[in-house]
Structure 1
């Protein structure tokens, strides 16, 4: 593969291929996905550093489904403390007003000294946290709290754990934060929960990506960022997806949609695999 001679070499051939003209098929998949189990909803829990773009990703998915910019999850782009403080379920609406068969849960961001407690993330994975619980950065949710769900149903439990990491800050994430991510991963692994990583803020890395998001897989540094995440927290490369969230645009961008739809299709497929595995295990 040849390279350009710019400061940030651009490959003539992408290191990962993606169908940039497949939006309608992927959009159809998201709109029509239904778990095999009647009444089941696929629950996707987002976690990661404060300011990584968890809420923005939820808003971006909803925007793509509606075909217009939409803000459901309150987001903050300062990147300091977590803007999300409550355990909130975000239902995703289709153009016709009906709801998708998957939901997102947004939680307080991880931080070195503050942020959501690992114990609370573990409780959320198991379905023990009720809607509206305000996260306490010092004390985990107790079993005697009105927000503790003593008997979680299958729909209360998480099927996909998505780690949202800002591509422009991977190198400066300290070891304590990375250890927290690893420990949360281990809890999810023991629960056989599917795991995916979303790499946000890719446009902050190179002006070439800001100008044309199709360049995302033409930069080896994007691949190197993903390899670092793989080395730090162990998520396989084929479970990592760079995206460009909507945050300043007032019009939809087809190529932004492509990355978001591609990531979401994989997230749903991995989650559905988890549901099928769980059903087989219950029958055996």
Structure 2
């Protein structure tokens, strides 16, 4: 293997399934900063990359059962800024991290969200429920503009999502993603990338998902993606989202949890950095 990972083997104690260390870490996580209720993770990528499926897969892993929801449909090139929370129990409690999934990389198709609006979302200046329109970028006069964003409103981690099964990244998509990454870098927001559909990359990963870190073809895909986008290899992780499965798969869970743990840690580090800088002033 060219990268080490601890696969989640199903270990039972009595009639109960013992959770992995990664699952226990995520389930017990709480932000250190009392002013932050949720770590906000912004998923950015083209339609079909698997952003909504990833959120659904995270929900499946944490809730311990299959949980299906329909992906958003986009009408007249308009998409809505929506926060996805994951229910922790039946008492109305949620996990302390949320996802924002916006359709933002459809250059040349007349669809998606402008880079300008995505930059505003990074700064927390987009209100929940705002409907994006590529022909009418958000301005301070719009009701959907948040003029006084809190630390909770800001994005704490930017995640570029792309399909490993796509032959190559379109130059227009790459340029827009680079602009968004540059905006995030200027704000100090940590960034990582998720390559989805890794089971479709080669016959070995399709046969056994545990071959993911033995696949030379996938390693090259990740290296090319790293070179094109400027994200270090150790910040690029492969996943397989739940798609055709109707019951849990421990190998799928392992990859999902490894990504989720890194997202949480990156977000926590960024929040602590902001608070440290604030205290220094």
TM-score (norm. length: structure 1)? 0.89
Partner of 1:3: none
Say yes or no: does 1:241 pair with 2:241: no
Partner of 1:183: 179
Work out whether residues 129 and 148 of structure 1, in 8 Å CA contact, stay in contact via their aligned partners in 2.
Answer: yes
Give secondary structure in 2 for the equivalent of 1:55: helix
Q: CA deviation at 1:82?
A: 11
Say yes or no: does 1:120 pair with 2:117: yes
Residues 217-239 of structure 1: CA deviation (Å, up to 9, x unaligned): 11111111111111111001111
Say yes or no: does 1:226 pair with 2:213: no
- The RMSD of aligned alpha carbons is 2.0
Distance 2:21 2:35 in 1: 24
Partner of 2:4: 17
Partner of 2:16: none
Work out whether residues 50 and 81 of structure 1, in 8 Å CA contact, stay in contact via their aligned partners in 2.
Answer: no
Distance 1:95 1:29 in 2: 17
Say yes or no: does 1:32 pair with 2:19: no
- How many residues are aligned here? 267
Give secondary structure in 2 for the equivalent of 1:187: helix
Distance 2:262 2:76 in 1: 27
Work out whether residues 82 and 115 of structure 1, in 8 Å CA contact, stay in contact via their aligned partners in 2.
Answer: no
TM-score (norm. length: structure 2)? 0.90
Q: CA deviation at 1:84?
A: 8.4
Distance 1:241 1:166 in 2: 12
1:50-129 paired onto structure 2 within 5 Å: 50-72=47-69, 74=71, 85-95=79-89, 97=91, 98-113=93-108, 114-129=111-126
Work out whether residues 114 and 134 of structure 2, in 8 Å CA contact, stay in contact via their aligned partners in 1.
Answer: yes
Work out whether residues 62 and 92 of structure 1, in 8 Å CA contact, stay in contact via their aligned partners in 2.
Answer: yes
Distance 1:72 1:92 in 2: 12
Cα distance change, pair 164–73 in 1 and its aligned pair in 2 (3 A): farther
Distance 2:235 2:69 in 1: 26
Distance 2:69 2:138 in 1: 26
Distance 1:183 1:282 in 2: 27
Work out whether residues 57 and 256 of structure 2, in 8 Å CA contact, stay in contact via their aligned partners in 1.
Answer: yes
Q: CA deviation at 1:211?
A: 2.6
Distance 2:204 2:126 in 1: 42
Partner residue of 2:262 out of 263, 266, 274? 266
* Regions of 4+ moved over 2 Å: 80-84, 95-98
Q: CA deviation at 1:75?
A: 5.8
Distance 1:233 1:269 in 2: 22
Cα distance change, pair 236–227 in 1 and its aligned pair in 2 (3 A): same
Work out whether residues 74 and 83 of structure 1, in 8 Å CA contact, stay in contact via their aligned partners in 2.
Answer: no
Distance 1:82 1:145 in 2: 19
Partner residue of 1:148 out of 134, 145, 148? 145
In structure 1, list runs of 5 or more residues that go unmatched: 1-13
